[in-house]
Structure 1
Amino acid sequence: MRWAIIWLAFVGLTVNYLDRASISVALPFLGEDIHLTKTQEGLILAAFFWTYDFFQLAAGWYVDKVGPRRAFTIAAVWWSIFTAVTAAVHSFWTLVAARLLLGAGESPAPATSAKVVATWFPKRERGLATGIWDSGSRVGAVIAIPLVTGIIALAGWRVTFVIIGILGLAWALGWWKAYRDPAQHPKVSAAELEYINEGGARTADNDAEGAAKLPWRKLFGYRTVRGMMLGFFCLNSVIYFFITFFPSYLVDERGFSLLKLGFFGMIPGICAVVSGWLGGWVADRAIRRGVSVTRVRKTVIVVGMVGGSVIIAAVLVPQAWMALALLSLSYASLTFAGTGIWSLPADVAPSSAHVASIGGIQNFASNFAGILTPIMVGYLVDTTGSFVIPLSVIGGIALLGALNYLFVVGRIEPLPVPAAAIAKS
């Protein structure tokens, strides 16, 4: 049953990212209709992340309080409504408003999924389970390209957002009906429940005594948590290029037609999906063989982030196929690292009551990249006339992130809880 649950979460993340990525695919056509500059397009792409990021801290805390069932359902209904509302925009400012409201609704999704993995999976299976739900974000971005281009060709860009909004509402209903925590789920056998708990699932029964009393604000005092915040920011500085300006890069810089964009534009995303699953499988296999969790997580993350930096070379090669190959390698490397990054909240949380909170904290920091990257890329493209400088900058940030995980983030184990911190709570 645990695998059925995580695949359902995968579908939710697929719809979640389809909603946010569709604007990137539709933007070349939407922008022409309402007369947007590249700088305005960058601001629109960033607007989503202003509210998405702002609500991350509260979202993680909320998920830990009410649980994945209620949190994910409410979030999906919210984001689906404001995806559909995007079809009615008619100016720069109405589009900004729609994106702000969409960002607020989508904020609980990643922390909820991390909580699901921590609750349902033993430590030796967390990598693959994380890779599955996290790959939903890549699948959503991949299918957005052919789906949105196809609907635009047939019916125009406005219809796209209505259809995707309906998909989200349908998923929300399915999640509400299907999800329960393992101990309350009617289809979980006694043997599976024992397997989950004995394998180190983060539940109240497995928490250290008193750890759940650690105040939320105290999480920021840990060096490892601060390192996770900085490192995830570095990763997303590159990933959000693929989520935002990647279609425009292929069209404007490499001369792709609508047809070529719909076909070839899927390749990096497909590579990223496969690589995310591979990263999780490799990590789980190593942990089952006795390799320390610290060594496994740090190796996966650092190797992936160094590979992600090849985006620098992608903008320098002369041929479009060379650029596409290097961009595919970059994106795949980043998702390889991402499985390790999203496994960390379950690995280091002081108790089961802090898993989603730490997920929200690191995602809060990471999504400043969602705010800054589109604006930076759009501005520098307008200023320099090419993508060379902005992509060189974010490639360098990926290398900084690799160093951060090596030297700032500490051992990957549950963070110790000082008795004084509990006493003062």
Structure 2
Amino acid sequence: MSVTGGAHSQLTDSSPLSSTRWAILALVVVATIINNFDRQMIALLKPFIEAEFGWGDTLYARLAFWFQIGAAVSYLFAGWFVDRAGVRIGYAVGVGVWSFFTLLHAFVQSFAGMVGLRIALGGSESVNTPAAIKAVATYFPPRESSLAMGIANSASNIGAIITPLAIPAMAIAFGWRNAFIVTAVAGFVWLVVWLLVRPAAPSLAGVVPTPEASLVHEPADRWFDLLRDRRVAGFALAKALTDSVWWLMMFWAPDFFMRTFSLTVSEVALPVAGVYVLAALGSVSGGMLAQRLILRGMPVKDARLRVLFTYGTLALVAPIALFTAQLWVSVLMVGLVLFAHQGFSTNLFATVIDAFPARRVASVVALGALAGNVAGAVVQLLVGWLLETGIGYLPLFVAAGLAYLLGALAIRALTLRAGD
């Protein structure tokens, strides 16, 4: 997040907003946790839904595919919407709409109906990221914005850890349909509290637009410049390679553990939570490792590449998860892949800041995110086919292990090429 003068200059400790901005941040954290619940719970409810409807892996893969397509398309416009509507109304509309579509999941009776809801949910949930970033940029002064952004970013990891612990228990106790109802009600409660807080937004004139909004507003000639830029191609390729692994694990890790180790839905909760604990640690380690190298005098470009290749090498452990009879060894291997993913991603985004002027960063990030979502959607269909044909997870885990080194090579060859 970057800001320029103007918007933040109005935010002082004596400002009326000072007494409420931390409450606003708490609501941003809760909204992000709910967002993660809604996104991740379909993977944990897969056995219940399949048992009721008789849907196999191919149909489940199509549900994941359409969710990501909905998110990818909406990603282009979510930031623009938040910029136009403002944080208060934009966030309220986003959470209200996605909670409504989450609620409708409880009443679905057909595959077509579920596909429509997954598209709608993926699209409406895309509002959360630009709204959260804009909320921090709007309500926090520069001296507090980094801390606030760090807290907001941690919410997705918190949500990923809580979801596998809570959702299976809810589904077992109340049924999978009621699990959707409970999550939707949480969103509606959040909406009421958010509107009651009534944050008096300062001027947004000095706030850099969200990545998605910048991409929509990018003039046509600059679009072509971006698409022709090999540095953008390198970043987008790296995002496509590595984000596809993240989405593979989010939608299929519970199934993998249950299928491989004959676990029940309740038994898979701790392993999945453990995987995301390691992912959260990876987020922290990536920034710390790069910072240490740079402080020791290593050139920034060299430090970034060394860290990318380090995490890329760590991800090579992925196939080991398939060849152990010990559940927690497998959990550790999958967790190390996501640890590597988060450490890699932290530095991958930093390479954009290193390689591009500030005015282009948001648009480049948005293009990379779009590439990652589209690649993730394609992978969902591939997973379904591999499982239905009996080939299984091996090709996917081998590819996951190689993806990060290939992504690092793409960054080295295209985005941070020697001599630039």
Using structure 2 for the length normalisation, give the TM-score: 0.79
Aligned to 2:388: 382
Please report how far the alpha carbon of residue 280 of structure 1 lies from its aligned counterpart in structure 2 after TM superposition.
3.6
Summarize the Cα distance change of 1:355–1:71 in structure 2 as closer, same or farther, 3 Å threshold.
farther
Q: One-letter code of the match for 1:394?
A: A
Please report how far the alpha carbon of residue 236 of structure 1 lies from its aligned counterpart in structure 2 after TM superposition.
1.1
Is residue 2:107 matched to residue 1:107? no
Please report how far the alpha carbon of residue 250 of structure 1 lies from its aligned counterpart in structure 2 after TM superposition.
0.8
Q: How does 1:255-294 map to 2 (within 5 A)?
A: 255-283=262-290, 294=301
Aligned to 1:323: 330
Where do 5+ consecutive residues of structure 1 fail to align? 186-200, 205-211, 416-425
Please report how far the alpha carbon of residue 369 of structure 1 lies from its aligned counterpart in structure 2 after TM superposition.
2.7
- CA offset digits 1:140-175 (Å, max 9, x no partner): 232221211111111100011111112223334555
Where do 5+ consecutive residues of structure 2 fail to align? 1-17, 210-216
- CA offset digits 1:391-415 (Å, max 9, x no partner): 212322232112112222238xxx9
Aligned to 2:174: 155
- CA offset digits 1:31-79 (Å, max 9, x no partner): 1101101111111121100111122222344455555554433322221
Is residue 2:20 matched to residue 1:13? no
Aligned to 2:369: 363
Aligned to 2:404: 398
* Deviating more after overlay: 254-263 vs 81-90: 254-263
Instruction: Tell me if the contact between 2:355 and 2:415 (Cα under 8 Å) persists in the aligned partners.
Output: no
Q: One-letter code of the match for 1:328?
A: G
Q: How does 1:100-249 map to 2 (within 5 A)?
A: 100-113=119-132, 132-173=151-192, 177=197, 184=203, 203=208, 217=223, 218-249=225-256
Summarize the Cα distance change of 1:397–1:178 in structure 2 as closer, same or farther, 3 Å threshold.
farther
Instruction: Tell me if the contact between 1:25 and 1:247 (Cα under 8 Å) persists in the aligned partners.
Output: yes
Summarize the Cα distance change of 1:16–1:247 in structure 2 as closer, same or farther, 3 Å threshold.
same
Aligned to 1:422: none
> How far apart, CA to CA, are the structure 2 residues paired with 1:291 and 1:233?
28
> How far apart, CA to CA, are the structure 2 residues paired with 1:245 and 1:81?
25
- CA offset digits 1:82-108 (Å, max 9, x no partner): 111111111211111110110110123
> How far apart, CA to CA, are the structure 2 residues paired with 1:406 and 1:174?
47
> Which of these residues, 96, 100, 104, is aligned with residue 85 of structure 1?
104
Please report how far the alpha carbon of residue 325 of structure 1 lies from its aligned counterpart in structure 2 after TM superposition.
1.3
Please report how far the alpha carbon of residue 226 of structure 1 lies from its aligned counterpart in structure 2 after TM superposition.
2.6
Please report how far the alpha carbon of residue 299 of structure 1 lies from its aligned counterpart in structure 2 after TM superposition.
4.2
Secondary structure of the residue that 1:273 maps to in structure 2? Answer: helix
Instruction: Tell me if the contact between 2:70 and 2:120 (Cα under 8 Å) persists in the aligned partners.
Output: yes
* Deviating more after overlay: 171-180 vs 84-93: 171-180
> How far apart, CA to CA, are the structure 1 residues paired with 2:279 and 2:242?
14
Summarize the Cα distance change of 1:382–1:105 in structure 2 as closer, same or farther, 3 Å threshold.
same
Secondary structure of the residue that 1:258 maps to in structure 2? Answer: coil
> Which of these residues, 95, 102, 110, is aligned with residue 76 of structure 1?
95
> How far apart, CA to CA, are the structure 2 residues paired with 1:101 and 1:379?
24
Instruction: Tell me if the contact between 1:235 and 1:334 (Cα under 8 Å) persists in the aligned partners.
Output: yes
Aligned residues: 388
> How far apart, CA to CA, are the structure 1 residues paired with 2:330 and 2:52?
29
Q: One-letter code of the match for 2:383?
A: V
Aligned to 1:407: 413
Secondary structure of the residue that 2:268 maps to in structure 1? Answer: helix
> How far apart, CA to CA, are the structure 2 residues paired with 1:68 and 1:106?
15
- CA offset digits 1:292-346 (Å, max 9, x no partner): 6545544444433332332122212333222111111111111122223445666
Aligned to 2:311: 304
Instruction: Tell me if the contact between 2:34 and 2:186 (Cα under 8 Å) persists in the aligned partners.
Output: yes
Summarize the Cα distance change of 1:348–1:101 in structure 2 as closer, same or farther, 3 Å threshold.
farther
> How far apart, CA to CA, are the structure 2 residues paired with 1:37 and 1:369?
22
Q: One-letter code of the match for 2:415?
A: V
> How far apart, CA to CA, are the structure 2 residues paired with 1:299 and 1:386?
33
> How far apart, CA to CA, are the structure 1 residues paired with 2:252 and 2:129?
22
Q: One-letter code of the match for 2:387?
A: V
Summarize the Cα distance change of 1:213–1:318 in structure 2 as closer, same or farther, 3 Å threshold.
closer
RMSD of aligned alpha carbons: 3.6
What is the percent sequence identity of the aligned residues?
26
Aligned to 1:56: 75
> How far apart, CA to CA, are the structure 1 residues paired with 2:276 and 2:269?
12
Instruction: Tell me if the contact between 1:279 and 1:339 (Cα under 8 Å) persists in the aligned partners.
Output: yes
Instruction: Tell me if the contact between 2:44 and 2:265 (Cα under 8 Å) persists in the aligned partners.
Output: no
Summarize the Cα distance change of 1:39–1:356 in structure 2 as closer, same or farther, 3 Å threshold.
same
Please report how far the alpha carbon of residue 363 of structure 1 lies from its aligned counterpart in structure 2 after TM superposition.
1.1
Please report how far the alpha carbon of residue 179 of structure 1 lies from its aligned counterpart in structure 2 after TM superposition.
6.0
Summarize the Cα distance change of 1:174–1:333 in structure 2 as closer, same or farther, 3 Å threshold.
farther
Q: One-letter code of the match for 2:398?
A: S
Instruction: Tell me if the contact between 2:308 and 2:348 (Cα under 8 Å) persists in the aligned partners.
Output: yes
Please report how far the alpha carbon of residue 116 of structure 1 lies from its aligned counterpart in structure 2 after TM superposition.
5.9
Summarize the Cα distance change of 1:76–1:347 in structure 2 as closer, same or farther, 3 Å threshold.
farther
Instruction: Tell me if the contact between 2:47 and 2:265 (Cα under 8 Å) persists in the aligned partners.
Output: no
Instruction: Tell me if the contact between 2:355 and 2:416 (Cα under 8 Å) persists in the aligned partners.
Output: no
Please report how far the alpha carbon of residue 367 of structure 1 lies from its aligned counterpart in structure 2 after TM superposition.
0.5
Summarize the Cα distance change of 1:213–1:146 in structure 2 as closer, same or farther, 3 Å threshold.
closer
Aligned to 2:8: none
> How far apart, CA to CA, are the structure 2 residues paired with 1:129 and 1:236?
25
Aligned to 1:195: none
Please report how far the alpha carbon of residue 223 of structure 1 lies from its aligned counterpart in structure 2 after TM superposition.
2.8
Aligned to 1:35: 54
